[in-house]
Structure 1
Amino acid sequence: MSSNFKRKPEKYLGLVTSGSLSKGLQVRIRSSAPLEHIQTGQFVAIESNGVRFFGMLTDVALEATTDSILLDPPGEDTSALVREVLQGVYTYGDAHVDNRLALYQGDANPRPVRSIPAHFTSVYIAEETDFDAVFGSEDLLQGGKNFAIGKPLDMEIDICIDLERFVERSNGIFGKSGTGKSFLTRLLLAGLIRADICSNLIFDMHNEYGEQAQAENKKFVKGLRALFSQKVQVWSLKNTRLGGSGSIDGEIFIGLNQIEVEDILLLQDELNLNATASESAYILKEKYGDKWIVELLNGDPEQIATDSRANIQSVKALRNKLHALKNLPFVVDHSSIDSVNQIVDNLARGKHIVIQFGKSDNMLSYILVANIVTRIIHEKYKDKVDQYRQSQKASDEPRRVMITIEEAHKFLTPAVAGQTIFGTIAREMRKYYVTLLVVDQRPSSIDSEIMSQIGTRVVALINDERDIDAVFTGVSGSSGLKTVLASLDSKQQALVLGHAAPMPVVIRTRPYDEAFYKQIISGLELARSTVAWEELDPDSQEEARQKAIAEANDLYG
């Protein structure tokens, strides 16, 4: 519905002077605020004949009513009064607005724009009512679907994303090194765990998501198990635990019999494989089955080459390279998939799994384990989905799983994305109830088809032009957003856009601190203590609320 509140005069930005549906709106700035205080990324509202339009300010320009003043501009000795008159009459500021949503009178929710406001319609910097109409308010108590990921740059209002829509597709968190990608990831994962919308499997390369992590200010912050001890399990690779890393819920070891040729191809850079490696590997796989690596490493290479009719030099070269796998502390000759089966069962029961790499925090270990474990999980989930589609019983419907991987470009480059399980999951989206949360600082190295499938993108500062272009793959009206992205600070700011956000928005990211711990735990405790919250009277609701807050203060105060 159209707003009926009186807007604050100081929020007035200017008037619509021109524009189009495809290219956005031009706004003549007539704000009382100095032009220097009008910033790209600000959220604006435009009222026009019962329709409230919402957009983002993507550019600011200096304009003049006549070229003569630009050819003969005022000098330093020109009085301040004359300068003020010139700025108000002959020169002015112009803003470009990316018009995204429209809320029609009688509608509860905004919809994508299919029209534009009329000439000379007033434009305002958005207020709290506008943000609520578009992004809603955080719901810590009743399911937690709306999660506050941050606030506008210049206001103390929550910006929420829809977590149910977030898990429907694969998503990405991007930003150059040092912009806080891990903190953003931990923040979103905490929201997902609290809301209990899906199970999460996190491949924790640098041991940052389990018990605790160290921030750049040298302070330690709580990990996910420290916040959700009953919901989160920490698993480690066998023989890789770091001292003082806390208890674990299970160990994973990888058998050489579990490694497929596709896993080896994904390790091409880490193992420095030559061009003939894949051909030799496929020949050996066909000859020896799942024992092909064991036979290669333990047998006589000349005899193996003769028996398999492979090139002897290629066999020897591949043998030398694959010795690096056998030297990994968690790799054995033969292993069942019992530990991975247990992880699948725990995910199905609503647990969240953090797999820590401990002393093996290198790309060789990370790529190998993540690819093998994810492939087995995907196979299991395909079976679960097939069973559900045959029975059509609600009890057989699989629980959604989101898999978090860091350094995602290693799994999703154009050369290998068509062969890896991560590429398959990204393309299938929600077909088999498994999606990805990819975390990366080099999105330009990710296959463009995969990038086009990313549903929601949370983007911190990126400077490289190729990475900026990659982030906006498949995004309409991205030219103005590129300007906004380039203007972000390197810390605690991000651009959020895509499936879970009604429209692109720039945020100050929500701090992951003691206040956040209290807020998220108080909501969780309250949800546990009130089976039917909506059935309680207001006094009982307030009593339960205060009790939960007190418990959270006792825990984290």
Structure 2
Amino acid sequence: MSEKGNKEIEIELENLEKPVQIGKIGEVCYADTGPPDSVITLKIQHRPDSLRLGQPLVIETDNLIYYTLINRLYFSTRNSIAERFANSPFIDLLPPSQIEGVRGKEFYGLADLSCLRILPKKSLEEIEFQELIRGFDTIPPIFSNGREVTKEEIDLIYKTSEYSDSIGTLRGFEHEVPIDFAQLVKKPYGLFGRTGIGKSILNKIICLFILKHQISQLILFDMQGEYGLVSRADKTKGLAWYYREKIQIYRLGELDKKRTTTDGAEQFFIYKDSITSGDIIASTQTLNEPSINVLMYIEGYIKNNPEEFKDLFDAIDKIDAGEHNQINSFSLGALRNRIIRFKRYDFLKERGESKREDSLENIFIRLLEGKSIVVDFGKYGTNTHLYMFIANMITRRLYNMYSQKEDDTKLPPLIVVVEEAHKFLKSGVIQHTIFGRIAREMRKFQLTLAFVDQRPSQIDEEVYSQIANTFVMHMIDDKDIKRVVKTFPDSKKWRGIISGLQKKQCLIRGDAVAVPTIIDVFDYKNEKELKEKLGIGKPLAETLKALEKADLTKLEEN
């Protein structure tokens, strides 16, 4: 064929236009199941800036549906033609296209996709459970269509249970994403994000749904006064605003009588004789080994001689090193310096002749009554030493209670919610606190942890590996992002997604959600909508309708 004929054919091919399919994003031009990396690459037929990282897409073949997330958007390798035409007056000479965003065959965007599930093309009624959990074990044919996901496909992916509820919608869609809260509370979970991104708001939403389903009680150590009735920080509603009858608040410092009447808070106080060496070691963290040995010796001594000193603090102050060969005077002096700050805490009381239980004892009574606990640090909210002291002291006693009474069915399932978790769980500190042991050992006793933190990279690696579900908000620090994605398959692909999250967006991963998912979190300030989701204040008509469907014979039997 002549040179002129070749040119004519090229021009004809160049000008061929496929009919645009509604909802179509592009076509598959590459796929690889790995290892090392798995990917499906889509050639985009629209403007690439109409897509975003973390957006779900579907690759459709004759008999399969590949449910995917976008993990990378880019142009193909550096294009010399584009470089020459950029900033030149000749850009309008490039071949036009009816498809927006594509300027001839040389210029197009690509999207790398992570395949999360492969589903058969069946209805919800026809599909079997094993078919819902198929991973990326094959690849779609070249030129398979990529398109937006439909509600029916979302319903196939996200199965619901009796304890499912949604805390947000699928990113970019109006479809709610169900989370199985019964699964969530069985194992430790973590909520991570940079400072100021809204972790406490998201944590309140999660806690409210746990309370709604009555699958676990909570104990929260509230440094900034965010979880009680109304947040001191931003005036948003706390847990007690929605579930007043399920929450008991304890507040450090003097109580405001007017405020106490509203939120029912009790003043937090502890008898000094209930404090142990472990409580002191966990809160100071800087005690050297000789001082710890002295502390342990003194504690053992007063157990054998209970009449000589009122409590451990009294013994440390008054014991004479010269009368005890096991006590080094320099180490005793260092120990005394470390406990000076405890003398400034007005919530530490001497028991004397009082028969009234202190807050530690009262908290355990309230837990057995079915209450969840908020310990509000009040005026001590910025005191990290005190936070670690009280949180570790209460949690250590919970550990003893739950581990020693394995067959006691009266003990409720309980989640200990710990903010600033890295302060308790970083290497070098964790051996002095009880939190690591709870994360590793206590799941079978229905005592577990929830970590809320901005520095997951500082959490001990072994403890972090116990986290079964993660809620990840926007983070900047590369070390923190690496720690969070380390347990993800193809972990490198998720880094850009996390750093690209916006405010009120969250990546959820774990056995409480069907697949790793990015959601737009509900507006917590929309009180009316939140009450509807929590089932609070339902109209009488709805209550009567629910009763009509209920099996009232069981009620008669009881």
Category of TM-score, reference length = shorter chain: 0.7 to 0.9
Q: Is the 8 A contact 2:317 2:336 kept in 1?
A: no
- 1:102-117 → structure 2 map (5 Å cutoff): 102-104=118-120, 105=122, 106-109=126-129, 110-117=132-139
Amino acid at match of 1:167: V
Which residue of structure 2 aligns with residue 387 of structure 1?
407
Q: 1:467-518: per-residue Cα shift (whole Å, max 9, x none)?
A: 11122243322211111001112x2122111221222112221111223333
Which residue of structure 2 aligns with residue 505 of structure 1?
517
Q: TM-score, normalised by structure 1?
A: 0.83
Residues of 2 paired with 1:378 and 1:527: CA distance? Answer: 43
Residues of 2 paired with 1:528 and 1:205: CA distance? Answer: 41
Equivalent of 1:123 in 146, 161, 164: 146
Shift of 1:94: 1.6
Amino acid at match of 2:40: Q
Residues of 1 paired with 2:85 and 2:290: CA distance? Answer: 69
C-alpha spacing 1:243/1:500, structure 2 compared with 1 (3 Å): same
Shift of 1:399: 2.7
Equivalent of 2:399 in 373, 378, 392: 378
Shift of 1:215: 6.2
Shift of 1:68: 5.3
Are residues 1:176 and 2:194 paired? yes
Shift of 1:429: 5.1
Equivalent of 2:23 in 10, 14, 17: 10
- 1:303-322 → structure 2 map (5 Å cutoff): 303-304=320-321, 306-307=323-324, 309-322=326-339
Which residue of structure 2 aligns with residue 94 of structure 1?
110
Q: Is the 8 A contact 1:151 1:510 kept in 2?
A: yes
Which residue of structure 2 aligns with residue 466 of structure 1?
479
SS at match of 2:321: helix
Shift of 1:17: 1.9
RMSD: 3.0
Amino acid at match of 1:116: T
Q: Is the 8 A contact 1:294 1:333 kept in 2?
A: no
Q: 1:226-279: per-residue Cα shift (whole Å, max 9, x none)?
A: 11122222122364669735443544322333333332232235xx54564323
Q: 1:450-483: per-residue Cα shift (whole Å, max 9, x none)?
A: 1111111111111111111122243322211111
Residues of 2 paired with 1:346 and 1:256: CA distance? Answer: 21
Residues of 2 paired with 1:166 and 1:111: CA distance? Answer: 19
C-alpha spacing 1:242/1:471, structure 2 compared with 1 (3 Å): farther
Q: Is the 8 A contact 2:94 2:104 kept in 1?
A: no
Residues of 1 paired with 2:140 and 2:200: CA distance? Answer: 44
Which residue of structure 1 aligns with residue 43 of structure 2?
29
Unaligned stretches of 5+ in structure 1? 1-6, 389-395, 538-557
- 1:40-55 → structure 2 map (5 Å cutoff): 40-55=53-68
SS at match of 1:212: coil
Amino acid at match of 1:133: L
Residues of 2 paired with 1:457 and 1:112: CA distance? Answer: 22
Which residue of structure 2 aligns with residue 540 of structure 1?
none
- 1:321-360 → structure 2 map (5 Å cutoff): 321-334=338-351, 339-360=359-380
Q: Is the 8 A contact 2:42 2:146 kept in 1?
A: no
Shift of 1:148: 1.3
C-alpha spacing 1:368/1:72, structure 2 compared with 1 (3 Å): same
Shift of 1:131: 2.5
SS at match of 1:185: helix
Residues of 2 paired with 1:116 and 1:84: CA distance? Answer: 37
Which residue of structure 2 aligns with residue 299 of structure 1?
318
Which residue of structure 2 aligns with residue 550 of structure 1?
none
SS at match of 1:222: coil
Which residue of structure 2 aligns with residue 162 of structure 1?
180
Q: Is the 8 A contact 2:270 2:359 kept in 1?
A: no
SS at match of 1:324: helix
Q: Is the 8 A contact 1:451 1:473 kept in 2?
A: no
Which residue of structure 1 aligns with residue 247 of structure 2?
232
SS at match of 1:418: helix
Q: 1:97-119: per-residue Cα shift (whole Å, max 9, x none)?
A: 11112334443552140513322
SS at match of 2:402: helix
Which residue of structure 1 aligns with residue 157 of structure 2?
134
Unaligned stretches of 5+ in structure 2? 1-19, 551-558
Q: Is the 8 A contact 1:461 1:494 kept in 2?
A: yes
C-alpha spacing 1:294/1:46, structure 2 compared with 1 (3 Å): same
Are residues 1:266 and 2:282 paired? yes
Q: Is the 8 A contact 2:253 2:378 kept in 1?
A: no
Which residue of structure 2 aligns with residue 196 of structure 1?
214
Q: 1:4-58: per-residue Cα shift (whole Å, max 9, x none)?
A: xxx98224343252221542223232333x1111111101222335332222111
Tell me the percent identity: 25
Q: Is the 8 A contact 1:16 1:123 kept in 2?
A: no
Which residue of structure 2 aligns with residue 368 of structure 1?
389
C-alpha spacing 1:337/1:378, structure 2 compared with 1 (3 Å): farther
Q: TM-score, normalised by structure 2?
A: 0.83
Residues of 2 paired with 1:483 and 1:128: CA distance? Answer: 27
Shift of 1:327: 2.0
Which residue of structure 1 aligns with residue 271 of structure 2?
255
Residues of 2 paired with 1:155 and 1:284: CA distance? Answer: 63
Residues of 2 paired with 1:90 and 1:429: CA distance? Answer: 59
C-alpha spacing 1:247/1:423, structure 2 compared with 1 (3 Å): same
Residues of 2 paired with 1:265 and 1:334: CA distance? Answer: 22
Shift of 1:211: 0.6
Amino acid at match of 1:111: I
Q: Is the 8 A contact 1:296 1:304 kept in 2?
A: no
Q: Is the 8 A contact 1:168 1:429 kept in 2?
A: no
Amino acid at match of 2:292: S
Q: Is the 8 A contact 1:150 1:510 kept in 2?
A: yes
Amino acid at match of 1:515: K
Shift of 1:534: 8.2
Q: Is the 8 A contact 1:406 1:439 kept in 2?
A: yes
Residues of 2 paired with 1:16 and 1:201: CA distance? Answer: 52
SS at match of 2:224: coil
- 1:406-421 → structure 2 map (5 Å cutoff): 406-421=419-434
Residues of 2 paired with 1:402 and 1:8: CA distance? Answer: 50
Q: Is the 8 A contact 1:238 1:330 kept in 2?
A: yes
Amino acid at match of 1:232: I
Shift of 1:133: 2.2
Which residue of structure 1 aligns with residue 507 of structure 2?
495
Residues of 2 paired with 1:98 and 1:311: CA distance? Answer: 62
Residues of 2 paired with 1:263 and 1:492: CA distance? Answer: 37
Shift of 1:317: 1.6
Shift of 1:520: 3.3
C-alpha spacing 1:314/1:159, structure 2 compared with 1 (3 Å): same
Residues of 1 paired with 2:159 and 2:430: CA distance? Answer: 37
